[in-house]
Amino acid sequence: MGYEVTTNDGGCQVVVGADTYQLEGPLTTFFRTDAGRRVADCWSVRLASFRTADVVRIRRLGDHELRAA
């Protein structure tokens, strides 16, 4: 599982292993959580952060899409 993040400069990055994301001040941060959880908490692992103002689109990717990328 993961997310594809498109930014306003035309860039596109894939955050592999992310289960969820949330806003943290001026940043949108992607997290890996324990199996069966969708909530970012103190046990979650931060994988990547982007300036929220720069994010144009966030698209969730399934495992089959990640293997093809």
DSSP letter string over 8-53? TTS-EEEEET--EEEEETTEEEEEE--TT-----TT-EEEEEEEGG
* Per-residue pLDDT tens listing for the chain (69 residues): 899 999 999 999 999 999 999 999 999 999 999 887 778 888 899 999 999 999 999 999 988 777 765
Q: How many domains is the chain built from?
A: 1
Question: What pLDDT does 42 receive?
Answer: 86
Question: What pLDDT does 66 receive?
Answer: 74
Q: To which H or E segment does residue 55 belong?
A: strand 55-61
The residue segments making up the domain with residue 40 are: 2-68
pTM, rounded to two decimals: 0.87
Question: What pLDDT does 24 receive?
Answer: 93
